[in-house]
Amino acid sequence: MSFNSRDIEEQSAEASQAMDDDPTLKATEVAAAFKAPYQRLFARRRGRPASHTRGGHNKKLTTPQDDALKEYILMLQYSGHGANLHEIRAAAERLLYFSNFTTGDSNSSVSVRWTKKWMTRQSDFLKAIREKPLSVK
């Protein structure tokens, strides 16, 4: 049996297609024939998507807030002040504060750990704005 999740999903999809083609087949027999885990095949047949397609549930910032944070960092960069960890965290806190002010959820905040993870996720963006200009190179 393959342990790669992509291979398992492909095997489950093939087994599900075989069950669609011949409704008289039993799920246990099809799972054994296609070497697909029975529980995964049964879950996909019931409509539960793969976990990697569902997205994260721990996102603090929405996409517009994320874009606004990037714009703020760009503004700081162009004004001659580079954004450090604490400035990014403070900006994210303010975004969450004012967005939660309207919804009433005051428990949402970001930590230093979240800020470091956000900076890791946005490493391509941060590297692009920190690159030296051609005149310095």
Report pLDDT digits (tens) over 112-124.
Answer: 999 999 999 999 9
Quick one: tokens of 83?
A: 């954004």
Asked whether residue 30 falls in the same domain as residue 75, the answer is no
Asked whether residue 104 falls in the same domain as residue 73, the answer is yes
Tell me the Cα Rg of the chain: 23
Question: Which residue has better confidence, 54 or 71?
Answer: 71
Query: In sequence order, which residues have a C-beta less than 8 Å from that of residue 110 and are 6 or more positions away?
Result: 60, 89, 92, 93, 96, 118
Lowest model confidence (mean pLDDT) among 6-15, 44-53, 73-82? 44-53
Q: Are 39 and 12 in contact (CB under 8 A)?
A: no
Q: Does residue 20 fall inside a structural domain?
A: yes
Q: Does residue 135 fall inside a structural domain?
A: no
% of residues, the chain, pLDDT over 70: 85
Number of domains in the chain: 2
Quick one: tokens of 118?
A: 């956000």
Rounded to two decimals, the pTM is 0.56
Asked whether residue 45 falls in the same domain as residue 72, the answer is no
pLDDT score, position 106:
61
**For residues 63-87, average pLDDT:** 92
